[in-house]
Amino acid sequence: MFNFKKDLNVAFIGDFPPRICGIATFTKDLLSSVSKRFSGRSNIYAVAITDEGKEYEYPKEVLFSIEQTGQKDYLEAANFINTSNAQVACLQHEYGIFGGRDGVYILSLLSKLNIPLITTLHTVLQSPTPNQKKVMDEIIKRSTVLIVMSERSIAILKEVYKVPESKIEMIHHGTPKFSSLDSSHFKKRFKMEGKKMILTFGLMSPNKGIETVIKALPSLIKDFPDLTYVVLGKTHPHVFNQWGEKYRESLIKLVDKLKLRKHVIFDDRFVAIEELYAWLQASDIYVTPYMNKAQAVSGTLSYAIGAGNASISTPYWYAEEMLSDGRGYLFDFNNSEKLSSILRDLLKDEKKLRVLQKKTYKFGRQMTWEKVSARYAKLLTKVALGKISDMSQYAKSTAVSSLPDFDLSHIKRLTDDTGIIQHAKYIVPDKSTGYCLDDNSRAMIMSVWARFILRDKTAKELIPVYCSFIRYMQKDDGKFINFLDYKHAYMEDVGSDDSNGRAIWALGYLVWRTHNDAYRSFAAEMLKKTFPNIPKLNLRGKANAVLGLVCYLRVYGGDEQALHILKDMSKDIMDAFLNNKSQDWSWFEDILCYDNAVLPMSLFNTYSILKDEKMLTAAKESMTFLEGIIFKNGILSIVGNEGWHKKGEARAQFDQQPIDVAAVVLAYQSAYRVTNDIEYLKKMKTAFGWFLGDNDMGVSMYDAESKGCSDGLMKNGPSMNQGAESTVSFITALMAMIEEYEIENLE
């Protein structure tokens, strides 16, 4: 038997008693059992998840607690674990015990760990929602080993989540070491001598199906007048907070209606472990009438098997597996008649009941915590010592270990004959939102870039669509309209300054990087019509227009009018910087809001044409100031749009927008192009990592399956919608990374 009695330092992450939860009990039992496997010098401790609004007096094993909905707590917990002497972390995962949508907050902790991770999966969903799958995919990516408690879970991980079998370990749910099958002592304790006792225990909620068992009793009572059904357990705290005791009260009414008061006992307690063991050993038959087919594990059924109870269950996944080979009986959901028939068969045949109990008890010997902890201890030691091949992501920002494949599938999905549709519902284009100049201008830059660098055929097909849209949105005076509905009706008289500036950038980019003279002439003609309007644009409009003028002048360097406008606009941007600059604020405005990096980027690009050292100095200084705000703990943390960051005030953390990230990536590329400073490439790589999971949530914004990008990083996790702006922003940033191919080799 494995019994190292050596040193090992382990951080267990999960909820922990006195929080009332089955996983809390599991975490405590696992920690306690594993601790016995190692020397007293080992530091084996828990990081506990505390449900919102609660405070607990945790035992000494808990060294750090996380308030479930306190997103910052998860980051602080990661720092605590990293600065402790822990060699390996062991996560107990179930979506509902962590904060954020589908427990996404746990990813921010995992993404900051610099030690390897083992994850025990208490829930494995065969049909997850998009967000549940995103969360699970990230956990899988960051785990060295995944532990499951059933063969069915292995199959789902392989089929649905594409996890290699070598990364999965099947270890049974632990159980106490029940001493024997002799129930007489325990029946006496609960005054059940001479009675047949059926037991169901666990936190009560409507999906437990208790009513199915109650309805099965009336036909049995006549033949077995001493039969007693015990329902042991408190109402689940979440259920109680929302509905109180309505479910329990409905069951009591049902008992009264069926005249079963003498035969049904409701014990509304979350009992101590010692008493629970006694109840299990006092019972003859255990029933789990649960209503959810897709249940990967049941701690209550595991305990019943360990105690040698004759077990009967509805056919949820875990029960089907654990009660196979004649170890128990199954009955259909809600089928009280079938349950009654099975109970009658066992109750009338004492020999059959005892044979089943012995068979179950024998199987349960492999599930004792003593044996389960031995397997955990071996696994924890191997992972901590690096003896298991580790393809997980930990230790530092590692999301950009390799670039995603370039793929315009989702862009093509969003684009019709008119242009790129603004928004999507999940990955489906939402035609009711129509089109906008902003998105089609960005899409034009993206597709021209992809055609220029990669000679991509899809990009070649998309360029004329976006050109046509931009042309349709330009008025006779050179100004642009931004919004167009799906029926091709203009939705305004003139578009925003930002949208006009982006259209100018797109046209200039087409002039610069097209291989087609007809496109170049088309774009130059439209661009020249905008010249009189550029000086009237706002600051960001001018910054975007400057980027277009720089591109244009790289081809038509002798155009004095364009050069004159560039000088004037860059002076306006410089003046904004100098007028707002102070000792602790090196920025163009008194606020950091959206698309911030486009401002220093415009000066870096202008310097490439005008060679004005003052502009280069201002660009560097403002970029350094910006990165001091948006980089935290070595990752990008963009200013959120829920309040922005006003001078002298705290910055908003959420919602973070992909367009802002793309601007940072492009700004660093521009900085590198004019300075040849390799540090800008390193920061560019770090910034791009935001898309792939190096962000405040530790979750990838890019969907490798759909080839789209989430619309934003919210306080509850990433948006499930993948619209035009976000996806174009991702691919544009990816193009910059591809162009600077040497980034992949940076340390």
Q: What is the mean pLDDT of residues 595-608?
A: 96
pLDDT in tens, 375-409: 999 999 999 988 776 656 544 444 555 788 899 99
Give CA–CA dist 161/155, Å, rounded. 10
Q: What is the mean pLDDT of residues 253-271?
A: 92
Phi–psi pair at 741, nearest 5 degrees: -55, -25
368 secondary structure, DSSP code: B
Q: What is the pTM of this model?
A: 0.75
Give CA–CA dist 434/419, Å, rounded. 9
pLDDT of 292 reads 86
pLDDT at 740 over 90: no
698 band by pLDDT with thresholds 50, 70 and 90: confident
747 band by pLDDT with thresholds 50, 70 and 90: very low
pLDDT at 745 over 60: no
Q: Out of 122-126, 514-518, 618-622, pick the least confident.
A: 514-518
In order of 4, 154, 702, the CA distances from 172 in angstroms are: 21, 13, 35
* More reliable by pLDDT, 392 or 53: 53
pLDDT at 241 over 90: no
pLDDT in tens, 162-173: 999 999 999 999
Domains within the chain, CATH numbers bracketed: 10-173+371-384 (3.40.50.2000), 184-367 (3.40.50.2000), 404-745 (1.50.10.10)
pLDDT in tens, 448-491: 999 998 889 999 999 999 999 999 999 999 999 999 999 999 99
Residues in a beta bridge with 443: none
Q: Which tokens hold the place of 632?
A: 């935290």
Asked if residue 286 lies in contact with residue 312, where contact means CB atoms within 8 angstroms, the answer is yes
pLDDT at 195 over 90: no
Amino acid at 623: M
User: Largest Cα–Cα distance of the chain, in whole Å?
Assistant: 105
Report the C-alpha dihedral over residues 450, 546, 673, 398, rounded to 10 degrees. Answer: -60
pLDDT of 395 reads 41
- Residue 73, H or E segment: helix 71-83
pLDDT of 21 reads 85
In order of 437, 463, 646, the CA distances from 490 in angstroms are: 11, 22, 35
Asked if residue 25 lies in contact with residue 57, where contact means CB atoms within 8 angstroms, the answer is no
pLDDT of 726 reads 96
* More reliable by pLDDT, 511 or 364: 511
Please list, in sequence order, all residues whose beta carbon lies within 8 angstroms of the beta carbon of residue 717, skipping any fewer than 6 positions away: 100, 101, 102, 104, 131, 134, 135, 697, 699
pLDDT of 595 reads 92
Q: What is the mean pLDDT of residues 301-313?
A: 91
Interstrand relation of 117-121 and 145-148 (parallel, antiparallel or unpaired): parallel
Pinpoint the alpha helices (H) of 415-534: 437-454, 457-473, 497-513, 517-530
pLDDT of 248 reads 92
pLDDT in tens, 287-297: 999 998 888 88
Burial (0-12, 13-18, 19+ Cβ within 10 Å), 508: buried
pLDDT at 198 over 80: yes
pLDDT at 744 over 60: no
Phi-psi label, residue 589: left if phi above 0, alpha if psi -120 to 50, beta otherwise: beta
pLDDT at 253 over 80: yes
746 band by pLDDT with thresholds 50, 70 and 90: very low
In order of 484, 491, 526, the CA distances from 494 in angstroms are: 11, 9, 16
CA angle 54, 58, 60 (to 5 degrees): 160
Asked if residue 147 lies in contact with residue 34, where contact means CB atoms within 8 angstroms, the answer is no
Give CA–CA dist 587/582, Å, rounded. 8
pLDDT at 3 over 50: no
pLDDT of 390 reads 65
Q: Which tokens hold the place of 508?
A: 């200039």
Q: What's the first-to-final CA gap in the chain, in angstroms?
A: 44
Integer-rounded Cα radius of gyration of the chain:
32
Q: Which tokens hold the place of 428?
A: 């489906």
Q: Is 709 helix (H, G, I), strand (E, B) or coil?
A: strand
pLDDT at 5 over 80: no
Q: What is the mean pLDDT of residues 208-220?
A: 94
pLDDT in tens, 103-155: 989 998 998 898 999 999 999 999 998 889 989 998 999 999 999 999 999 99
Q: Out of 68-82, 180-194, 488-502, 674-688, pick the least confident.
A: 180-194
Q: What is the mean pLDDT of residues 714-733?
A: 92
Q: What is the mean pLDDT of residues 86-94?
A: 96
Q: What is the mean pLDDT of residues 433-456?
A: 94
Q: What is the DSSP string of 160-185?
A: HS---GGGEEE-PPPB-----S--HH
pLDDT of 1 reads 42
